[in-house]
Amino acid sequence: MSTKNGIALLFSIIVLCEIYFNSYRFNYFIQLLFLVVLYVSGLKSVSISFLKTIAPLLLLFVLGLIGSFFYKNNSIDLFKDCLYFSKPIIGLFLGYFVFKVINDKFLFFKIFVFLALFCAGIHLFGIIFLSNFNKSSVSDIRGGFGFDNFLEVFSFFFLLTVPKTAIKPVFKNEIFRKIALLVLFASVFLYFSRTMILMMILLSISFFGYTKLNQQTAKILGLLIVFLMLSAVVLNSIKIDRNSKGVEALLYKIKMAPGEVFNTKIDRDNHKQLWDHWRAYEAKRAFYLMSEYKFGYLTGTGFGSLVNLKFMAPLSEKKMKYISRLHNGYVFILYKTGFFGFLLYLSFLIVLYLKIYLKIDCKATLVFCKIISSIGLFYFVSTLIISGIYISRDVVVFILGGALFFYNDAINSNSVQGANTVLKPI
């Protein structure tokens, strides 16, 4: 087996572990170990452009670490936060170095698409043959067969867009490609995930270039906003039972989504209301605790700080009164690192998004700009709902690391300067 294939196989195993192993520390340390092995084997050079791109995440980590010295936070909780905030950085470097070794755009897409199809196959098999679809609740189905898998969402769009570039398509046979698209689409829908449905809409806009603001895209986005507002009005006018099953349960979750994030008028003793607005309750408690410190909003409360929920919440087998991580990633970052950390994170997302504005002739390079920009928008939205890049299990960060390598490789090959440069085909 060649070095390239060996690295691809090991990387695929690590991606699958990230998806299926529910041990944050296990995934963290095998990724760190693999990264160290790659580094020791001779991969020590990193492009300046890549380092500049991820610099906000590095500085954000340093901010949280410095902030911890000003508060008497528990050392174990401090260690956990160091893992939480460094894991995306490790994932980015790992994706970068793996595809620096492989250095094959076709294999980049092939690895992720085949892994996604493997996951989709397992998911569909479980849903169709192992679940009682008619009688089980959506929560039971999702709990037994997976809450989400964003690798499947991105791979769906890889199969849609790559055949239109100079890169060799993953499937030469058009029928196989369409079957793969159908499998991925069916699997994505059957996760019954509001976030995945939202990301399908967002990425369909982004991958086809409609997030690049101009007069035409403004009209399209305007129509989309009107459609979403009308959909919200219709959903709110329909009475849906909280304990519904199947598609109705998904519609109920979609109906409650805005209030779950933004509604802070919550009666803690009303458990139904509390669980329907849990993300907002977490954020409300974090804001209150920050206000108790003189510079709480400016500097945050540092790594190791906890949010006091004021009651024993059944969030795990053992009820918890204090939590370290929040669903709302923006509040999570603000609570740990303050306003400066919040700005650093936003700057990271903006830098990713702006890649869509590069004027590029080469379609093979343009697709990576779209991937990077799409991931920036993906994290911009998902940070509000599921912690974004700081979610406990994230495979999108590997895609981003690899895409940044191919993008930076194109820059170094063509000496690109500024957003108005035209890249020549690689």
- Per-residue pLDDT of the chain (426 residues), as tens digits, is 678 889 999 999 999 999 999 899 999 999 999 999 998 887 778 889 999 999 999 999 999 999 888 888 899 999 999 999 999 999 999 999 999 999 999 999 999 999 999 999 999 999 888 877 666 666 777 777 788 999 999 999 999 988 776 678 888 889 999 999 999 999 999 998 888 998 999 999 888 888 887 777 777 777 777 876 777 666 666 766 655 655 566 666 565 556 555 566 666 666 666 777 788 888 889 998 998 887 888 889 999 999 998 888 877 767 889 999 999 999 999 999 999 999 999 999 999 999 988 877 677 788 899 999 999 999 999 999 889 999 999 999 999 999 999 998 887 776 444 444 444 333
Tell me the β-bridge partners of 320: 313
Determine the Cα–Cα distance for residues 338 and 300; give it in Å rounded to an integer: 4
Task: Please say whether the beta carbons of 373 and 360 come within 8 A.
Answer: no
Task: Please say whether the beta carbons of 138 and 245 come within 8 A.
Answer: yes
Q: What is the dihedral of CA 142, 145, 150, 152, to 10 degrees?
A: -130
Tokens standing for 370?
A: 């779209």
Burial of 320 (0-12, 13-18, 19+ CB in 10 A): middle
Determine the Cα–Cα distance for residues 5 and 220; give it in Å rounded to an integer: 43
Half-sphere CA count of 73, side-chain side, radius 13 A: 28
Determine the Cα–Cα distance for residues 187 and 40; give it in Å rounded to an integer: 39
Q: What is the pLDDT of residues 326-358, one digit of tens each?
A: 999 999 999 999 999 999 999 999 999 999 888
Determine the Cα–Cα distance for residues 425 and 366; give it in Å rounded to an integer: 10
Distances (CA, A) of 29 to 18, 62, 80, 179: 11, 20, 13, 37
Tokens standing for 9?
A: 């196989």
Phi-psi sector, 70: left (phi>0), alpha (psi -120 to 50), beta: alpha
In sequence order, the 6+-apart residues with CB closer than 8 A to the CB of 408 are 47, 49, 50
In sequence order, the 6+-apart residues with CB closer than 8 A to the CB of 208 are 161
Instruction: Give the orientation angle of helix 150-161 with respect to helix 363-386, to 10 degrees.
Output: 160
Task: Please say whether the beta carbons of 285 and 307 come within 8 A.
Answer: yes
Tell me the β-bridge partners of 281: none
Determine the Cα–Cα distance for residues 154 and 426; give it in Å rounded to an integer: 24
Determine the Cα–Cα distance for residues 101 and 287; give it in Å rounded to an integer: 45
Q: What is the reported pLDDT for 35?
A: 95
Q: Encode burial over 359-391: b for 16+ CB neighbours within 10 A, e otherwise.
A: ebebebbbbbbbbbbbbbbbbbebbbbbbbbbb
Q: What is the pLDDT of residues 209-223, one digit of tens each?
A: 888 877 777 777 777
- Specify the amino acid at residue 200: M
| HEC per residue, 184-222 | HHHHHHCCCCHHHHHHHHHHHHHHCCCCCCCHHHHHHHH
Please give the model's pTM, rounded to 2 decimal places.
0.88
H/E element, 167 = none
Biggest distance spanned by C-alpha atoms of the chain: 63
